[in-house]
Amino acid sequence: MNYFLAKTDPDTYSIDQLEHEHETTWDGVTNAQAVRAIQQMRPGDRVFVYHSMGQPAVVGLAEVVSEPRPDPKNAKSAVAAFKFLTRLAPPTPLSEIKASSRFDQWALVKQSRLSTMTAPQEFVEWMRGRYPDARI
């Protein structure tokens, strides 16, 4: 199983909406590096859902439920379907991720505008320690 992180502005699409709808198509990604991350996703992979506005934080976990496919609205993009798994409470703020100094080389810290990315195994283990009851 692989892990990813997908950012969203909660005013555009929030963890609340994903929980309510149960499943969504992750689309609207245009950065080539972020599109490559979506193209690497496979059913069963996990996605940390990250709210990028307000207090930036990892707020939930989703599962990839479809193979990636071309975005019908943008031939240079890709989409994948995610289903809601759980909220992560309390959220893990970006400030704590940065303060740990363990992830200084990760795109979340280095490339703040990148919307979708792989999540390093060290981050996955760190999050499992923070949320031992979650299905991370």
Chain centre distance of CA 72? 21
Residue identified by tokens 């970006």 is 94
- Domain limits at 45? 3-119
**Number of other CB atoms surrounding residue 113 within 10 Å:** 9
Q: Report yes or no on 62 lying in a domain.
A: yes
What's the CATH number where 98 sits? 3.10.590.10
In a domain, 20, yes or no: yes
Picking from 61, 66, 56, 68, the residue whose alpha carbon sits closest to that of residue 112 is: 56
pTM to 2 decimal places = 0.95
Q: What are the tens digits of pLDDT across the range 28-41?
A: 899 999 999 999 99
99: in domain: yes
Give the number of domains in the chain: 1
Is 50 a domain residue? yes
Tens digits of residue pLDDT in 100-130? 999 999 999 988 788 999 999 999 999 999 9
Confidence of residue 72 (pLDDT cuts 50, 70, 90): very high
Residue 128 domain flag: no
Amino acid at 135: R
For β-strands 57-64 and 3-8, DSSP reports them as unpaired
